[in-house]
Amino acid sequence: MTEMAKLSLPDGKSMELPVLTGSENEKAIDISDLRKKTGYITLDPGFANTGVCESKISYIDGEHGILRYRGFPIEELAENPSFVEVAYLLINGELPNKMQLENFADRISLHSMIHEDMRHFFEGFSQNSHPMVILSAMISSLSAYYSEASGKASMEDLEINSARLIAKISTIAAFSYKKSVGQPFVYPRDELSYSANFLNMMFSVPAEPFELDPEIERSLELLLVLHADHEQNCSASTVRVVGSSEANVYASVASGILALWGPLHGGANQQVVQMLQKIHMDGTGISKYIEKAKNQYSNFRLMGFGHRVYKNFDPRAKILKNECDRILSKLGINDPLLDIALELEEIALSDDYFIERKLYPTLDFYTGIIYRALGIPLNMFTVMFVLGRVPGWIAQWKEMHEDAKQKIARPRQLYTGQTKRKYVPIAERV
C-alpha cells in the first residue's frame, strides 16, 4: 500500500500526498495534484528539493560520495575505461556484448564526418571565438542536415541520431580548436578508437607524422567516462526542458552545451586552472585566497569546490587525483599547479568554513591539470566535458520521451509584482 504524507494548510484545507520510494530507498512526496486540489504551489528556487522525474540512468548518494551509472559503481567503470561502452550502457540501459559493442562503435565511426558545407560555418567565427559557442551553434545546425530528426518523431531515429551526435561532436570540437590556432582541419579516421581519433584530429598536422601516446589515450577515455552522466544537473535538466517542448535532439543537446558553459557548472574546469595560475603568478601564498573565498562580501569562490549534491568527496575527484599522479609521472611532467591544488585542498579540508558547509573538491578541481598534461588548451576544457557528457544527455532525452508521465516543462511562479493598475499615456507621465 502506498504510504501517504499529510499536508495541513493555513486555510484549514489538508491533503494526503503519496510518498514514493526509489530503488535505493530515497523518498519523494508526489505533489503533482497539489495545485489542482488545493490551489497551492510549492516554491523551491534552484530546484534544490524538487525531483522532476523518475530516472534509471545514474544514481548519486551525495552524503556518502557514491556515483553509479545504471547500477555500476563509477570506480569499476573507471578501472579499464571504455567511453563507447559506457555510452552504450547509458543510452541502452545494459552493458553491450562483444558484437553489440562492435556494432555501436562502427556506427559511431561511420558518422564521424560532417557535411562538407558545414566547414564554411567555421569561417564565420572570429579566430578568438570561444569553442563552446562554436560547438553549440554547430550542433544546433546539425538539425538543418538531418530533418528526419525533428520533434518527438526523432525517437524513431534516435539510434542513428545518437551515433551522429557522439561522432560529429568530436569532429566539430577538434575543428573549432584548429580554427582557433589557424591550422588546417584534420579529417576523422574511422580505424582509430574514439579518443585516438579525437586526439589525431586535434594534434596532427599535414606537415609531419603524428604519434599517438597510448597513455594519453587512456587518460582521455577515463576523463570521458567520468563525465558521461550525472543525473539531473543544470545541463541535463536543460536538455530535458528543451526536449519536453518536442524540440529535436540536436537542439536539445545544443542548449545543454550552453548551460554547461557557465562557470558554476562545466565552465568551472577552466576557472579552476585560471585560479591556480593566478595563485601561482601571485606567489604570495594560498591563505589569502582561502580568506577571500570565506569572506561573505567577496564574490570570489574556490573554484572546483562545493556541489549541490555531494556533501562528501566527489568519487570522480578521488579517481582523478590518482590519475593526476599517474599521468604526470608517466609523461614526466612536474606541474606547479598540481602542488598548489594539493596544498589548497589540504588547507580547505581542515578549515571550519569548508568543513561546516561540507565543501569538497569536485571532479573539476583535477580535470584541468590532466587536460594541461595532455596538451589540451585552456579554452577547450569545457568542450572536453561536453564530449564526455553527450551520451548522458542523449540517455536523459530518450528516457524523458519514453516516460508516459512526462509533460512539457512549465514551472509556476509566485507573482510578487504590481497588482492591477491603469495604463498612463506617455504625455501624462512625469
Of 54, 144, 357, 411, the one binding ligand ACO (CB under 6 A) is 357
- Site membership for ligand ACO, residue 360 (CB under 6 A): no
Stretch that binds ligand ACO, among 80-88, 132-140, 248-256, 264-272 (CB under 6 A): 264-272
Residues of the chain by 3-state class (helix, strand, coil), percent to 5: 55, 5, 40
- Site membership for ligand ACO, residue 266 (CB under 6 A): yes
- Site membership for ligand ACO, residue 368 (CB under 6 A): no
Which element (helix H / strand E) includes 132?
helix 131-145
- Site membership for ligand ACO, residue 293 (CB under 6 A): yes
Which element (helix H / strand E) includes 28?
strand 27-29
Walk across the sheet containing 72-73 and list its strands. Answer: 58-61, 66-69, 72-73
Nearer to ligand ACO, 62 or 93 (CB): 62
- Site membership for ligand ACO, residue 364 (CB under 6 A): yes
Dig out the grid coordinates for 30 from the structure: 508526489
Stretch that binds ligand ACO, among 29-37, 106-114, 142-150, 303-311 (CB under 6 A): 303-311
Of 138, 186, 253, 268, the one binding ligand ACO (CB under 6 A) is 268
Closest CB 243 distance from ligand ACO, rounded Å: 20
- Site membership for ligand ACO, residue 303 (CB under 6 A): yes
- Site membership for ligand ACO, residue 222 (CB under 6 A): no
Stretch that binds ligand ACO, among 148-156, 359-367, 373-381, 392-400 (CB under 6 A): 359-367
Closest CA to 215 of 384, 331, 335, 363: 331
Round to whole Å and give the CA distance between 319 and 279: 25
- Site membership for ligand ACO, residue 301 (CB under 6 A): yes
Stretch that binds ligand ACO, among 111-119, 135-143, 200-208, 305-313 (CB under 6 A): 305-313
Dig out the grid coordinates for 401 from the structure: 520521451
Query: What contacts 359, CB < 8 A, 6 or more positions away?
Result: 302, 305, 306, 348, 353
- Site membership for ligand ACO, residue 388 (CB under 6 A): no
Closest CB 302 distance from ligand ACO, rounded Å: 4
Round to whole Å and give the CA distance between 336 and 343: 11
From the list 111, 130, 314, 364, the catalytic residue is: 364
- Site membership for ligand ACO, residue 264 (CB under 6 A): yes
Site for ligand ACO in 230-259 (CB under 6 A): 233
Dig out the grid coordinates for 309 from the structure: 549534491
- Respond yes or no: is residue 229 known to be catalytic: no
- Site membership for ligand ACO, residue 278 (CB under 6 A): no
Total site size for ligand ACO, rule CB under 6 A: 19
Q: Which residue is nearest to ligand ACO (CB)?
A: 306
Round to whole Å and give the CA distance between 301 and 30: 35
Nearer to ligand ACO, 250 or 354 (CB): 354
Dig out the grid coordinates for 67 from the structure: 556515483
Alpha helix ranges (H) inside 228-363: 234-244, 249-261, 268-282, 287-294, 315-330, 336-349, 352-356
Of 81, 131, 304, 368, the one binding ligand ACO (CB under 6 A) is 304
Nearer to ligand ACO, 306 or 368 (CB): 306
Q: By rule CB under 6 A, what string of x and - marks binding of each residue 102-141 to ligand ACO?
A: ----------------------------------------
Cα–Cα distances (Å) from 303 to 95, 126, 256, 270, in that order, read 35, 29, 21, 9
- Respond yes or no: is residue 11 known to be catalytic: no
Q: 363-399: b or e for each residue (b if 16 or more CB lie within 10 Å)?
A: bbbbbbbbbbbbebeebbbbbbbbbbbbbbbbbbbbb
27: left (phi over 0), alpha (psi -120 to 50) or beta: beta
Round to whole Å and give the CA distance between 151 and 195: 31
Site for ligand ACO in 39-58 (CB under 6 A): 46
- Are the beta carbons of 387 and 198 closer than 8 angstroms? yes
Closest CB 304 distance from ligand ACO, rounded Å: 5
Q: How large is the greatest C-alpha to C-alpha distance in the chain, in angstroms? A: 79
Q: What positions carry a catalytic annotation?
A: 307, 364
Q: Using CB under 6 A, list all residues that contact ligand ACO.
A: 46, 233, 264-266, 268, 293, 301-308, 357, 359, 362, 364
